[in-house]
Structure 1
Amino acid sequence: MQLDEIDRKLLRILQDDSRKSVQELGDAVGLSPSACHRRLRALEERRLIAGYHALLNPGALGFSMQFFIEVGLISQSEAALDAFEAAVRDIPEVLECHLMAGQSDYILRVVCRDHDDFERVHRRLSARLPGVARIHSNMSIRTVKARTGLPI
């Protein structure tokens, strides 16, 4: 997909701070507010901008623990994958779920408030997710790098 330097600069700025006004964005890339607005609309229509979100502080909200959980399924049939994926979407503590190629079928990123909360979530994963053969949990000690943006 072709992007010119103005588009790339707009996307980089928005990744760092999506609260900037169209006026501020236009000033930063050398466009009038109306021209900047048209550029943003075009980027949204081309689905290069998927949405605008607030980045919340998990620790400040009481989510002091983060886990990466590898899940192996009994079967890798399309029906088994669909059933697992539908069920995992209903667990709010699962922030991400990735279908993998390799040793595990899925890797989940899960947040919990404390050890008791993790036990509850782990039981829910084990008992309620269909077709689970094994679960291997890895606790994150500290986030070294977390970036929500892409290297544009």
Structure 2
Amino acid sequence: MHGDLDRIDQKILSELEGNGRLSIVDLAARVNLTNTPCSERVKRLERSGYISGYRATLNMDKLGLGHLTIVQVSLAATAGDNSLDAFNRVVKDIPEIECCLMVAGSFDYLLTVRTRDISHFREVLGDKINKLPGIHQTNSFAVMETVL
């Protein structure tokens, strides 16, 4: 962790990472502070950017999007022709793409793609992902189980 954070700040971050809906009362009890100092620390951590937001973790199976596929993307070229910028702009327009990571290695991007089933994934791959600018090759991996 960053050097500006003491043990209590680190504990606050850890507790909120596990459950962002903790009340200040519950959080203060978990980190052994009273409510006001705990609240002030949380506000300081938010202002300083250590806490960038709060969100709900959705049950994708219940939402009908239980099929997860990892897609490796290789672009035809990545130097000098703005292909990375072009890809970065338009990949955001595909709602089924849950995460897009530019990586160093033998391919350029790693995507996590959420769909209803393998048939829906095939549509997204063929009709959307493979039509993104600069695509040279994709490799897809169906996720069998999320461990962590």
TM-score of the aligned structures, taking structure 1 as reference length: 0.90
Match of 1:55 in 2: 57
The one-letter code of the counterpart of 1:112 is T
Q: Report the CA distance between 1:26 and its aligned residue.
A: 1.3
Runs of 4+ residues over 4 Å off in structure 1: none
Write the distance in 1 (CA, Å) between the matches of 2:30 and 2:102.
39
Question: Using the alignment, how far apart are the partners of 1:29 and 1:133 within structure 2?
Answer: 51
1:87 to 59, 77, 90: 90
Structure 2: where are the runs of 5+ without partners? none
Q: Secondary structure at the match of 1:118?
A: helix
Amino acid at match of 1:115: I
> 2:129 maps to what in 1?
125
Match of 2:7 in 1: 5
In structure 2, what residue type is equivalent to 1:69?
A: V
Aligned-pair identity in percent equals: 36
1:97 counterpart residue number: 100
- Distance (whole Å) between structure 2 residues aligned to residue 48 and residue 30 of structure 1: 20
| Residue type at the aligned position of 1:56 | L
Q: What TM-score does the superposition give when structure 2 sets the normalisation length?
A: 0.92
1:148 match: none
Q: What is the root-mean-square deviation of aligned Cα atoms in Å?
A: 1.1
Superposition pairs of residues 1-152 of structure 1, within 5 angstroms: 1=2, 2-77=4-79, 79-123=82-126, 124-127=128-131, 129-145=132-148
Measure the CA separation in 1 of the matches of 2:135 and 2:102: 14
**Structure 1 CA distance for aligned equivalents of residues 22 and 105 of structure 2:** 41
| 3-state SS of 1:27 partner | helix
1:75 Cα deviation after fit: 1.1
Give the 3-state SS of the residue equivalent to 2:122 in structure 1.
helix
SS at match of 1:95: strand
The alignment covers a number of residue pairs equal to 144
C-alpha distance in structure 1 between counterparts of 2:66 and 2:42, whole Å: 36
Gaps of 5+ in 1: 146-152
